């Protein structure tokens, strides 16, 4: 389906897995289908994902946390303006937190002060 270290557009990803095209966690019928992350916003991705505090973003993070057995492909773009996402493999959500001390530590890494709802911890699936 996807090749390691190969670049894909959001359209390529959406055509392969389905779900919405304009979200960082495309889903269908409340199942997360992929993770599409921006390294500028998530300096420690793919292992640590910082979910913003906008309503839909936070809801997607909570949905992913509720699905610890869901395996999904992860793609990362290096900058906000990049049109291409590189495939990094398959992952699942090992844990997530909305504790203020966890959010504060993550905010220091990315500079997104007061903008996070969750920190998601992903682990590679082999």
Query: What are the φ and ψ backbone dihedral angles of 103, each rounded to 5 degrees?
Result: -65, -40
Instruction: State pLDDT tens for residues 95-107.
Output: 999 999 999 999 9
What pLDDT is attached to residue 12?
97
Provide the residue count of the chain: 126
Instruction: State pLDDT tens for residues 38-84.
Output: 999 999 999 999 999 999 999 999 999 999 999 999 999 999 999 99
Q: pLDDT-based confidence at 19, cuts 50/70/90?
A: very high
pLDDT at 116 over 90: yes
In three-state secondary structure terms, 9 is coil
Assess contact for 4 and 39: CB atoms under 8 A. Answer: no
Domain residues of the chain, as ranges? 7-124
CATH of the domain spanning 7-124: 2.30.280.10
What pLDDT is attached to residue 125?
97
Q: Is the peptide bond before 46 cis (omega within 30 degrees of 0)?
A: yes
């Amino acid at each position: 389906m996807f090749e390691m270290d190969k670049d894909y557009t959001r359209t390529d990803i959406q055509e392969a897995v389905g779900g919405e095209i304009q979200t960082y966690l495309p889903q269908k019928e409340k199942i997360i289908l992929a993770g599409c992350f921006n390294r500028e916003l998530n300096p420690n991705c793919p292992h640590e994902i910082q979910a913003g505090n906008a309503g839909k973003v936070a809801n997607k993070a909570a949905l992913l946390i509720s699905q610890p057995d869901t395996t999904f492909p992860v793609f990362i773009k290096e900058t906000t303006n990049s049109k291409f996402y590189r495939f990094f493999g398959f992952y699942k959500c090992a844990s997530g937190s909305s504790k203020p001390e966890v959010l504060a530590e993550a905010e220091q890494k990315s500079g997104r002060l007061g903008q996070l709802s969750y920190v998601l911890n992903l682990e590679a699936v082999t």
